[in-house]
Structures are given as C-alpha cells and as structure tokens.
Amino acid sequence: MLKLTNPFKPYMNKIPAPIRNPYFWTLILFVTWMFFFDRHNVFTQWDLIKTSDKLDHDVEFYDEKLTEAIQDQKDLDANKEKFAREKYYMKKHDEDVFIIVEED
C-alpha cells in the first residue's frame, strides 16, 4: 500500500495555529468584504454621517433665521415707518439720511 505524505507539512506546522484555522480566513474575508465592497461600507457610512452633521447645522442656521424673521415681523407690525427707515433706508422727500457705520 502506497502512503502519500504532504510535502508541505513541515512548513505548515511552522505557521501559527490561528492563521491555519479556516474560520480565521473566513472572518478576514467577511470583514474585508464588509469594510470595502459592501453597499453599506465604511466610506458610505462616513459620508452619511458627514451629510447628517451638515443637515443638523443647516437646521440650526434656519431656526435662527426663522427667529429673526419672526422678530422682524413683530417689529414691522409695531412700527412700519421705523422699520422701513432702518432696514431699507427709506426717507421722505425733504429729508437727508446719514448712515453711520460703527467700526469694531
């Protein structure tokens, strides 16, 4: 009877046991696939997080603008002439308007 031996067996025994384990290679393949090639990979998730942060910032910005617009509406309702003079620099025909800008 002919007994076949593996010529690579001495070299295989030098490789650490966890690396020889087929489950280790399956795990490496799975992690690589999920990290780089999957539709919901890390880069896509990173872009989604950045987009979400930008949208949150935009919501805060527009909330501030909305608050300013509501305050302007209240000012307009209270005193229309003052609002027109201060915001749009309107004047009567016999008036001169001087705009003074304060520097910081």
pLDDT, tens only, 23-42: 999 999 999 999 989 998 99
User: In this structure, are 20 and 54 located in the same domain?
Assistant: no
pTM: 0.54
In a domain, 1, yes or no: no
Q: Are residues 64 and 91 in the same domain?
A: yes
The amino acid occupying position 11 is Y
Distance in angstroms (rounded) separating the CA atoms of residues 95 and 77: 24
CA separation for the pair 100, 86 (Å, rounded): 12
For residue 96, tell me if it sits in a domain: yes
Domain containing residue 90: 43-104
Going by the DSSP 8-state scheme, the letter that residue 103 receives in this structure is -
Residues 25 and 75 in one domain: no
Instruction: Identify the three-state secondary structure at position 92.
Output: coil
Is 61 a residue whose pLDDT tops 80? yes
Domain for residue 3, yes or no? Answer: no
* Residue that wins the pLDDT comparison between 103 and 3: 103
The answer, yes or no, to whether residue 88 has pLDDT greater than 90, is no
d(CA 57, CA 63): 10
